[in-house]
Amino acid sequence: MATAKMNRGRQRVDMVKMTNENNLQVTFSKRRVGLFKKASELCTLTGSEVAIVVFSPGSKAYSFGSPSVSEILEKYETQVPHFIGPQGSIDEANQTRRRANEISLNEELRALEDHLDAVNKRSREFTKMVRGNQNQYWWQAPIEELSMEQLEQLKIAYEELDKRVQIQAQK
């Protein structure tokens, strides 16, 4: 009987500074990406303006801003709304266009991330199948274990084989 790999799963991480420099850098990179992604989603869903500045353990600055970090910091520093002069309608149109573009790009990003997740899932399934069936071809696996795409490929292959057998039988 095969032993199942026991892992810790998703557990709460204690909030203490890490001592291992490699783990520290990897954790920073992953969490920074997650933080920026959440900020982008917040902007898209609520139309809010967000500015985030994060310094890495190596003192490198990373920033995210919607519509831009500098524009939000200027608003924060002055604490007054932007003056709308004679060019106000043009500025508003530009800002509206930027927001629409930002929303479109965020939606495209989300679709690409979903596609990437699906591709990664298929890759993991394929790797798992290859490891499990080292001496078998995928079409030799039990039909219940094949994906819909594999079943369709198998059906096409059987139909092609049937055509070839009929041609040979007629000769």
Do 157 and 114 fall into the same domain? Answer: no
Q: Which residue has the higher pLDDT, 81 or 149?
A: 149
Structure tokens at 144: 């219940």
Do 125 and 153 fall into the same domain? Answer: no
The H or E element spanning position 32 is: helix 21-46
Do 116 and 97 fall into the same domain? Answer: yes
Question: Quick check: is 104 in a domain?
Answer: yes
Q: What pTM does this model have?
A: 0.40
Q: Which residue has the higher pLDDT, 101 or 156?
A: 156
Question: Quick check: is 33 in a domain?
Answer: yes
Work out how many domains the chain is built from and give that number. 3
Question: Quick check: is 14 in a domain?
Answer: no
The H or E element spanning position 94 is: helix 88-132
Do 33 and 76 fall into the same domain? Answer: yes
- The pLDDT tens digits of the residues spanning 130-139 come to 776 655 666 6
Do 100 and 141 fall into the same domain? Answer: no
Domain containing 148: what range? 137-171
Compute the mean pLDDT over every residue in the chain, rounded to the nearest whole number: 81
CATH number of the domain at 61, please. 3.40.1810.10
- The pLDDT tens digits of the residues spanning 36-78 come to 999 989 888 888 889 898 988 888 888 888 888 888 888 777 7
For CA atoms 111, 116, 122, 125, give the dihedral sign.
negative
Do 73 and 94 fall into the same domain? Answer: no
Whole-number Å distance between alpha carbons of 146 and 94: 52
Question: Quick check: is 31 in a domain?
Answer: yes
